[in-house]
Structure formats: C-alpha cells, structure tokens
C-alpha cells in the first residue's frame, strides 16, 4: 500500500527508481533480516515483471541489494540466512563482490543508468568505509545526469489570488465611494 | 472598525433624516458615546502599560528598534511539540515563567515572537497565561501552533476533545500557521535549506472551497515530496553529517509522503471548523507569515457582502434624496423654482439636477414668448458682456417678477455660448434698454456699429412712443367692466364735465407730436393726432351722446346676470333699431375710421361678454334638449311613425321660433344671420337642419296618424303586351289612361301601387304598404327625366312610363331628401 502511494506521488519519476528508493528507505528504517527478506522478495517480484532490463542487469541489481544488505547485517546473520539471501535465480552467489557489481554497472553508462542510480544510493548508505566508497560515488555522480523536476505551476492558486484581489479592489472602491457619498448626502432646504 | 465607522455614520444620518430625536439630543448622545469609548480605551491602556509582561515586551522592542528597524509583525507561538523553539539567527529576548508555563519572547528578522509552552500541556495554566497576555494589549497578527510530527495523525481528535480551548483560540485568531517541529526534522530542514533547495512552504486559502483548498495543498505537498526525492543523493553526500542524520534526510521524502494524508485531514478539519489556517511549516526555521492579513479577512464572504450591502444602502439613500429633490423641483415653476434653484447652488452635488431645471425654467419662459429667437440669440452671444445688460434681458424675459439676487443668479447660468441667427432689430429693441444699445450693437454688428446704434435707437424710440400712445388711447375713458360702480361714477362725471376729458392726455400728445415730428416718425404723429381727434370728439355734444350709450351698454352688461338674460337682451337688440347696442353700432359705422376703431375696442369686451353668454345658452338648449330628442327619433328611418315625425318637426320649429328667428332673415330663399356686429353666431348646420325640415314639411301633410300627399299621375307609354294599368291609392283603384292625368291620393294607412293587366290575362301587382310606401314604390322606378318614371319587369319583357307631378313645388319622391336631413350638434 505504501509503495502504491509513493508511486502515485512520484509518478513523474521512473517506477523502478521509486521502488528502489522505497526498499532502501524501508531497510534503513528497520535493519532486520526478516524485513530484508521481504524487501528482497519485493525487489525480485518487480524485476520479474520488468521487460526492459536484461538478465544480467537484473542479476546485478539483485546482487547489489543483497550484498549491500548483507554488509549492514553481517554481524547478525547466520550462515544459513546468508545463503538464503544470496540465492539468485536458483544459484547461490558468493558475497563480497559489491564493488565489482558497481563496476559492472559503470561499464556501460548509457544502458545502465538505472543500475548506476541504484548503485549510487546503495554506496551513499553503505556500511563500507567512506574512504572506499568515495571514489566510486564521485565517479557515478559524474556519469549520472541530474534529475530535474518541472516547477509546479499552480494555475488554480494564481486564479484564486486574482479573484481575491479583484474582490478586494471592488470592495475598496465601493468603500471609498461609500465614504465619499456620506460626505455628499444632504437634503437642501428647498 | 472599517465597518463600524460607516455604520455609525449611517445611523446618525438616519436619525437626522427621520428626525426621530431632536438634533441637540443626537449630538449629546454622540459626544457621550465617544467620551465613554475614549475613557474605556484609556483605562485599559493604563492597565496594559503597567503589566510586567508588557514592560518586558516594550523593553526588548525598544532595544531592538534603537539598533534596527521597527518590528512590524508580532507572532504568538503556542508550542505543544515538547521541543524548544529557537532561531538559528541571533536573538535578543527574555524568558519568564508563569504557573508552570514558559514564556519566551524574542525578535528575529524584524518579527517579534512570543513562544508559550507548558511541559505537560496543562490547559488551565495556558488559559490563565492567555488571559494575562490579553491584558498586555499587544496585538498579535498571527498565531502559530507548534506540534511534534507524532502528534500530526491525532491532532484533529485532540483539538476536538482535549484541546477545545486551543481550538477556540485558533478559531478567533486573525491568522493561524501550523509548525511541525522536532529536533531531527528541524536539523534536516536546516540541511536541505543550506545544501539544497527547500521547497516553498505549504500555504492554504482560509475559508476557501474545501475541494480547491485540498487540491492546492495536495499539489504543494507533492512538490515537497518530489523536490526532496530529487535531492536524496546530494543531501546525503555533501553535508558533514552522521549516518543517522543522513538516513533521516534520505527518508524525508518518504516520511512526508506518509504524513501527507494526515496533513490533508488537518487542513480539511481547519476549513470545516472555520480556523483561518494559513500555512503549514516544517522545522523551527521555516516560519511563513501571511503577507497581507487583510487579504484573508476579505476572503470571508460575509465581510464582502456586508460592505457591498452597506455601500449600496448609502447609494440608495443618496439616490432617494436626489430623486426627492428632483420631484420637488419638478412640481414648481416660475419665481418659486428660481428661488429653489438658487438655494440649490450651495450644494454642488446637485449641480446636474440644478442645470436640468435651469434649462426647464428657461424653456418655460421662452416657449410662449413671441421673441423666443431674439432671446435665444441674446443668451448665446453675450457670454462676456456687461452683467447689467444680462440682468436687463433676464428681467425683461421674467417680466420683472424676480428679485435682484435671482436675476443675477439666472443671468450667470442662462448665458452660454452658442450659434443662433441674428435677430430682427424690431424684435430686439423691446428687450434691451436704451442704455445697452451700444453694447448690443458692438456684438451684433461689429463693423457697422454707428448704423446699428442709429437704427436700433430709432426703433426703440418708435416702440416706446407707440406703446405710450396705446396706453393713452386705452385710458381716455375709464372703462372697467369688472368695477361697475367706479366706472359708472367716472362716466357720469365725464358726461357732466366733458371738458375734463383727456386734458392731461392732450398735453402729452402735444409733446409727443413735437418730439416725433423732429425725428420724422410720421406714422406716430398721425396716430397721436387721431387720438387728439377722439378727445375732441368726446368733448363735443356728439361725444356726450356716445358716452351716454357707452354708459347704457355698461349698465346693460352689468344687469345681464344669466345666459338667458343675455339672449333676451340680444334678441331685443336684433329686433329694435333704437336699442343702445344697435345705436352704438350705428355710431361706429358713421365715425371716422380711427375713431370707429377706438369705439369698437372700448365696447367690444362688453358686447362680447353678452354675446358669449347668449351663444352659450343657445348651444346648451340645442345640445342639451333638442339634439338628443332628434337622435331618439331619427327621420331618416323610414319606419318612423307620423306621430314621431310630427313631434320632431314641431320641436325644431318651436326652437327656431323661440330662440333663433329674431337673429335671422330670409335672403334669396335662404336663411342667414342678420348682419349686425353684435356677436351672435349660429352655426350653419343648425340653420340647414331647419331649412331641410321646412322643405320636407312643405311637400307632405303630416297628420296625427298618417301622412298624406297628392300627385297627378299621367300614363305616357304602355307598350305590348300590357292591356291596362290600374292605380291604387287611398283605398281606391282607378284605371290609368294614356296621356290623361289621374289624381293619386297617397294615404300612408293604405297600400299604394299599380295593377298591370297583360294581354294574356295575367295581372301583376306593384304595390307597397307601410308608412313610407310611396317612396318605396317609386324607388322601383327609374327617373328617366324630371318627374318622368319608367318601370321595367324583372325579365325586361314589358314596362311602362308615367309622369308624376307633385301638388307642392317640393318633390317628395326624392328619397335622399328625407334620409339626409343634416341633424348634428351645435359646435
């Protein structure tokens, strides 16, 4: 439900980006294994119905999120749980290749813009040392084009303001006329 | 106040207009009310001045205003968020405590803030504190309610149940803003502001349409969420912040999205509860104050409607008073209207009405004036001329009925530049005095002034003396029909002392003659001599006779009370040569032309008076008695009975014999009014009616129960196949013989007509049987030549001709004669 509302509000942004934002935000809010598994399911489900990304790109996204989460929960996870996390397309991947996955995304910037944005978010909120991530963050920032948002033209607000100004103008004129007339009202002693 | 002042003024005006109370009492009441209001204001001002909180507020304000500009806005913040509200900019202020409440006053960016808080939100303490703040008389422009983000979802319920007092405060505030504040949110908003772009605060239209307000707020909240979403990376990368703060900044967009529904609910609640919620701010450094408080006040429809209604009310009063003034002026004219218009000149608001009625007054004087064109010229060309000339012209037009002040007033307004054709000098002369002739000529003929002055002066002299001669002529004998006794005494005196007649007049005439002879006014000299001759005539023995007759006429006129008397008098005058009226007419006919005219002018009013009465009486009798009867028994109807015919004819005959006969005479077979100039007028149609009835009666014997007439019928032609013709009349059947006369006695009681016997033995009857049977019988015949009638059968197979000669000279067989008797009213 939360996802749908967020998607509606951010409907002028790519849907995948918004979902990526949502799952990262939700994880940062509640950093638990169960929440992480649920978010992985949500991500996998979304990717399953995505027909624009290639299989490799999908796998990269899946791996990036899993390894990023794994780094955050590393101390708390059991081996079994870690194995369950890294099961991607029925193949258990090895953890620790987060930076390589980022490099994969950077390799073809034109096609991997989505991956890079996802990677950048993960890097900014990574559990890795800032010294390790800084160079990658800078590189990704340079490759990514800035998202823009068209200013909200509140035509309705402008109309309301205009209407109010007209009413006030009308009333002030009438009030002045009224005061002027009060000075004029006299019945001559005919 | 804006509404109260006009209301107070209107009330005063109404009291004055309706005269419910005397003016001094209204004045005293007004003064007492104003003094009482001033005393109350003074008392509360002293209390406020001595209040400790007010002293602190005044101190920091004065300290601040010494160094900076004047604080123009005051905001009170009711902090229920549980977190302190401080500004990032340096502040000067004070902290005090009252019944557990903290009061923090400070100034930031030219705005004075008073932050009120209680650690446990104890409402009774807050209420007491509020009452104390009220005593300070510090007018706060805005009120801010600060709450914690966790309180957002339950704020509506809390305000409705636990914080009813707060809701009332919000309801009465001029403008309300909602501040959502906690430490972390405040910090995040600060970073957004410093390292990114902070979206514009959420502004709301108070008392607006709910759906519109919600749409606007929703758009603005979406803008917030999107702006923060776009900056999610930059805000987390650049500021020097810890991971916790970074996460909070990253989640800000999502957090706002989650709060969006709650915020919209708050907006909906405030709109429905009539809380003037103006804005929603996030973080302590994000206050937004309405730019113009008055804007929101005017958004209240009641204020706009009230003000508009008030204005129209005043306008209506103005219109009513104006129309009353207009009506009053419309009812008057002449000098009264001029006086009213003069009074009105002290009231410039009625200038338009005054101008309209000035035009009306001018038109009323000009419309019936024979010299209208001349006046129009003078009014249109004397814009800059001598004021005395203008006064002269106005005086002349208004016949001197207006006082000097009004003449001066009218001369100021009536003279306006325009284009009119030049007047004729003879028309211009009576209007202007001799003194103004050069001035008028300067405008009228600027190139030929001397000629103009000469001509105009000559005309003026002529007109003055002509008028003088007329006056002399009219006053030679003092004849006033309305003053019988006086006139009679004067006439008797003149009869006894003929030498006293026109003594003064003769001297004046001598002067006039000598003066006018020099100037060459021959016509007037002759006229003066004619008047002299009248005086000499009156002084002679013939003049005595004339005066006697005039006296007789005066007496007769006086004694003629009723219309019938007047008729009787004139009947006698028309019948008798020795009657005074006839004698006067005789004298008149034998006098010289000018003397005869004078005598006529003297006697005509009296004769006219008598004749008018007599004519009126004749008309009244005809129109009131005779004519209605004639209409009830129309002769043109051929069903009229002999009895009715007899009645109608005798009615006209009687009227004629009794009232008309004395005034008419026969002249070449016609009846005309006698040619005496005594004023009797009998319309032609009345005389014609009489003549027609005479004609019909002369061709017919009108018996009491039937009509009778006699003709000699002679058969002129009886072609084949007619064997013989028999004539029916007066209950008798007689055979007709060719070229031999047979007497036809027509008796309307019996059938009249012919039996035609054909050679084959067939008999055809051409017979009529009613009142006017003879007319209907002969209407079937063709009159081939005078008195000869021809009958043709329907199929034209046979016919015969007869000659019908009437007994009297009038041929009654002409149906038109009877049907077209011209009875009509006396006009």
Condensed to tens digits (0 to 9), the pLDDT of residues B78-118 reads 988 888 876 655 566 788 888 888 888 888 777 888 889 88
Q: Is A184 on the interface with B (CB under 8 A)?
A: yes
Q: Give the pLDDT score at B611.
A: 92
Phi, psi values for residue A54, rounded to 5°: -80, 170
Out of B212, B233, B299, the one facing A121 most closely (by C-beta) is B233
Among chain B residues, the shortest Cα distance to A134 is held by: B237
Which residues of chain B lie closer than 8 angstroms to A147, CB-CB? Answer: 230
pLDDT digits 0-9 by tens, A67-117: 999 988 877 888 888 888 888 888 888 888 888 888 888 887 777 888 888
B665 has which bridge partners? B672
Task: Decide if pLDDT at B708 tops 90.
Answer: no
pLDDT digits 0-9 by tens, B717-736: 888 888 888 988 888 888 88
Q: Give the pLDDT score at B361.
A: 92
- The rounded distance, in Å, linking the Cα atoms of B129 and B176 is 19
Please list the alpha-helical segments (H only) found in B231-242: 232-237
Q: Give the pLDDT score at B200.
A: 81
Longest dimension (CA), chain A: 111
Q: Give the pLDDT score at B610.
A: 92
Average pLDDT, chain A: 82
- Identify the band that residue B1 occupies on the pLDDT scale cut at 50, 70 and 90: very low
- The rounded distance, in Å, linking the Cα atoms of B310 and B313 is 5
Q: Give the pLDDT score at B302.
A: 63
Task: Decide if pLDDT at B781 tops 70.
Answer: yes
Out of A12, A175, A181, the one facing B307 most closely (by C-beta) is A175
Our CA dihedral for B762, B768, B769, B771, rounded to 10 degrees, sits at: -170
- The rounded distance, in Å, linking the Cα atoms of B211 and B227 is 24
For the ranges B293-297, B471-475, B548-552, B646-650, which has the lowest average pLDDT? B293-297
Pair B773, B752: CB distance under 8 Å: yes
Q: Give the pLDDT score at B44.
A: 82
Q: Is A138 on the interface with B (CB under 8 A)?
A: no
Asked if A5's CB is within 8 angstroms of B343's CB, the reply is no
- The rounded distance, in Å, linking the Cα atoms of B534 and B501 is 10
Q: Which of A12, A20, A118, A149 to mutate to test the interface with B (most CBs of B within 10 A)?
A: A149
Asked if A185's CB is within 8 angstroms of B314's CB, the reply is yes
A vs B: CB pairs below 8 A? 131
Q: Give the pLDDT score at B821.
A: 66
Q: Span B240-251, mean pLDDT?
A: 87
DSSP type of residue B482: T
pLDDT digits 0-9 by tens, B141-170: 888 999 999 999 999 888 888 888 888 888
Pair B553, B483: CB distance under 8 Å: no
Pair B629, B648: CB distance under 8 Å: yes
CA B757 to chain centre: 82
- The rounded distance, in Å, linking the Cα atoms of A122 and A67 is 10
Task: Decide if pLDDT at B188 tops 70.
Answer: yes
B766 has which bridge partners? B754
Q: Span B277-293, mean pLDDT?
A: 68
pLDDT digits 0-9 by tens, B354-372: 999 999 999 999 887 888 8
- The rounded distance, in Å, linking the Cα atoms of B280 and B292 is 17
Longest dimension (CA), chain B: 162
Q: Is A4 on the interface with B (CB under 8 A)?
A: no
Task: Decide if pLDDT at B615 tops 90.
Answer: yes
Pair B230, B172: CB distance under 8 Å: no
Q: What is the ipTM of this complex?
A: 0.80
DSSP type of residue B430: T
Helix (H/G/I), strand (E/B), else coil: B92? strand
For the ranges A134-148, B522-536, B708-722, which has the lowest average pLDDT? A134-148
- Identify the band that residue A154 occupies on the pLDDT scale cut at 50, 70 and 90: low
pLDDT digits 0-9 by tens, B691-703: 888 877 777 787 7
- The rounded distance, in Å, linking the Cα atoms of B432 and B382 is 13
pLDDT digits 0-9 by tens, B465-501: 888 889 888 888 888 888 888 988 988 888 888 888 8
Q: Is A155 on the interface with B (CB under 8 A)?
A: no
Among chain A residues, the shortest Cα distance to B299 is held by: A164
DSSP per residue over chain A, as a string? -HHHHHHHHTTTS-HHHHHHHHHHHHHHHS--HHHHHHHHHHHHHHHHT--SS-HHHHHHHHHHHHHHHHHHHTTT--HHHHHHHTEETTEEPPS--HHHHHHHHHHSTTT-HHHHHHHHHHHHT-SS-HHHHHHHHHHHHHHSPPP-------HHHHHHHHHHHHHHHHHHHHHHHHHHHHHH------
- The rounded distance, in Å, linking the Cα atoms of B815 and B635 is 12
Q: Could you tell me how many residues make up chain A?
A: 190
- The rounded distance, in Å, linking the Cα atoms of A137 and A116 is 10
Task: Decide if pLDDT at B804 tops 80.
Answer: yes
Q: Which of B221, B253, B254, B357 to mutate to test the interface with A (most CBs of A within 10 A)?
A: B254
- The rounded distance, in Å, linking the Cα atoms of A107 and A116 is 10
Q: Give the pLDDT score at A153.
A: 47
Q: Could you tell me how many residues make up chain B?
A: 827
Q: Please identify which residue in the block is written with the tokens 């422009």.
A: B141
Minimal CA separation from B160 to chain A, in Å: 28
Which residues of chain A lie closer than 8 angstroms to B205, CB-CB? Answer: 160
Average pLDDT, chain B: 83
């Amino acid at each position: 439900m939360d996802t749908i509302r967020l998607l509606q509000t951010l409907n002028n942004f790519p849907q995948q980006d918004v979902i990526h934002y949502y799952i990262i935000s939700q994880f940062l809010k509640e950093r638990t294994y169960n929440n992480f598994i649920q978010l992985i399911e949500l991500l996998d489900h979304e990717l399953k119905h995505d027909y624009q990304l290639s299989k490799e790109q999908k796998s990269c996204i899946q791996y990036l999120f899993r390894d990023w989460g794994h780094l955050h929960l590393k101390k708390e996870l059991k081996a079994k749980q870690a194995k369950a996390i890294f099961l991607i397309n029925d193949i258990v991947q090895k953890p620790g290749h987060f930076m390589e996955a980022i490099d994969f995304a950077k390799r073809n910037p034109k096609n991997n813009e989505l991956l890079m944005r996802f990677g950048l978010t993960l890097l900014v909120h990574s559990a890795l040392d800032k010294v390790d991530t800084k160079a990658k963050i800078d590189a990704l920032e340079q490759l990514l084009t800035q998202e823009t948002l068209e200013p909200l033209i509140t035509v309705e607000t402008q109309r309301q303001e205009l209407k109010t100004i007209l009413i006030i103008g009308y009333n002030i004129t009438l009030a002045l006329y009224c005061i002027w007339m009060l000075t004029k009202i006299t019945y001559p002693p005919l | 106040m804006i509404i109260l002042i006009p209301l107070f003024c209107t009330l005063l005006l109404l009291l004055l207009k309706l005269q419910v109370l005397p003016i001094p009492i209204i004045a005293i009441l007004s003064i007492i009310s104003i003094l009482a209001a001033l005393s109350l204001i003074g008392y509360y001002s002293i209390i406020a001045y001595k209040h400790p909180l007010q002293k602190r507020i005044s101190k920091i304000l004065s300290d601040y205003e010494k160094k900076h500009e004047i604080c123009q806005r005051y905001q009170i913040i009711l902090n229920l968020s549980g977190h302190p509200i401080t500004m990032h900019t340096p502040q000067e202020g004070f902290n005090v405590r009252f019944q557990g409440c903290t009061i923090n006053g400070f100034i930031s960016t030219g705005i004075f803030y008073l932050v009120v808080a209680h650690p446990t939100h104890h409402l009774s303490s807050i209420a007491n504190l509020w009452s104390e703040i009220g005593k300070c008389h510090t007018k706060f422009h805005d009120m801010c309610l600060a709450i914690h983000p966790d309180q957002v979802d339950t704020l509506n319920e809390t305000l409705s149940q636990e914080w009813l007092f707060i809701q009332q405060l919000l309801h009465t505030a001029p403008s309300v803003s909602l501040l959502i504040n906690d430490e972390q949110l405040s910090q995040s908003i600060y970073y957004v502001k410093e390292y990114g772009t902070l979206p514009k605060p959420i502004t709301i239209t108070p008392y607006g349409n709910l759906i519109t307000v919600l749409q606007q707020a929703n758009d603005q909240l979406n803008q917030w969420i999107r702006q923060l979403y776009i900056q999610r990376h930059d805000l987390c990368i650049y500021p020097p912040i810890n991971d916790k703060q970074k996460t909070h900044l990253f989640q800000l967009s999502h957090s706002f999205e989650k709060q969006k529904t709650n915020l919209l609910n708050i907006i909906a609640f405030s709109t429905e509860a009539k809380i003037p919620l103006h804005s929603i701010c996030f973080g302590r450094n994000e206050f937004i104050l309405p730019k113009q408080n008055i804007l929101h006040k005017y958004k209240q429809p009641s204020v706009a409607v009230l003000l508009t209604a008030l204005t129209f009310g005043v306008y209506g009063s103005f219109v009513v008073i104006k129309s009353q003034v207009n009506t009053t002026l419309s009812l008057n004219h002449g000098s009264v209207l001029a006086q009213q218009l003069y009074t009105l000149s002290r009231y410039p608001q009625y200038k338009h009405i005054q101008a309209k009625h000035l035009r009306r007054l001018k038109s009323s004087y000009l419309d019936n004036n024979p010299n209208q064109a001349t006046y129009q010229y003078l009014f249109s060309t004397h814009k800059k001329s001598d004021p005395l000339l203008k006064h002269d012209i106005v005086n002349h037009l208004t016949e001197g009925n207006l006082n000097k002040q009004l003449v001066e007033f009218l001369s100021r307004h009536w003279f306006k530049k325009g284009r009119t054709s030049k007047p004729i000098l003879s028309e211009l002369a009576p209007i202007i005095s001799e003194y103004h002739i050069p001035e008028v000529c300067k405008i009228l003929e600027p190139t030929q002034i001397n000629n103009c002055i000469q001509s105009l002066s000559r005309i003026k002299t002529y007109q003055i003396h002509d008028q003088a001669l007329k006056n002399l002529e009219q006053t030679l004998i003092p004849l006033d029909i309305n003053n019988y006794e006086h006139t009679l005494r004067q006439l008797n005196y003149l009869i006894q002392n003929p030498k006293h007649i026109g003594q003064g007049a003769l001297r004046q005439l001598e002067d006039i003659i000598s003066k006018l002879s020099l100037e060459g006014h021959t016509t007037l000299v002759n006229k003066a001599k004619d008047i002299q001759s009248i005086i000499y005539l009156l002084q002679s023995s013939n003049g005595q006779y004339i005066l006697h007759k005039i006296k007789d006429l005066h007496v007769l006129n006086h004694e003629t009370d009723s219309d019938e008397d007047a008729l009787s008098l004139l009947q006698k005058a028309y019948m008798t040569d020795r009657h005074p009226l006839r004698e006067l007419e005789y004298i008149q006919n034998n006098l010289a032309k000018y003397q005869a005219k004078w005598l006529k002018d003297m006697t005509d009013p009296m004769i006219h008076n008598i004749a008018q009465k007599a004519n009126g009486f004749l008309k009244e009798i005809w129109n009131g008695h005779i004519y209605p009867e004639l209409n009830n028994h129309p002769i043109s109807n051929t069903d009229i009975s002999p009895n009715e015919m007899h009645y109608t004819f005798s009615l006209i005959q009687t009227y004629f014999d009794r009232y008309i006969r004395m005034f008419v005479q026969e002249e070449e077979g016609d009846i005309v009014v006698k040619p005496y100039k005594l004023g009797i007028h009998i319309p032609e149609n009345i005389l014609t009616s009489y003549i027609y009835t005479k004609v019909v009666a002369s061709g017919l014997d009108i018996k009491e129960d039937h009509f009778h007439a006699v003709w000699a019928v002679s058969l002129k032609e009886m072609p084949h196949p007619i064997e013989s013709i028999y004539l029916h009349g007066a209950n008798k059947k007689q055979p007709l013989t060719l070229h031999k006369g047979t007497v036809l006695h027509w008796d309307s009681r019996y059938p009249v007509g012919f039996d035609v016997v054909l050679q084959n033995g067939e008999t055809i009857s051409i017979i009529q049987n009613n009142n006017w049977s003879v007319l209907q019988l002969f209407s079937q015949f063709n009159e081939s030549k005078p008195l000869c009638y021809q009958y043709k059968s329907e199929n034209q197979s046979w016919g015969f001709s007869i000659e019908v000669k009437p007994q009297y000279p009038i041929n009654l067989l002409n149906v038109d004669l009877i049907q077209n008797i011209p009875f009509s009213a006396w006009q």
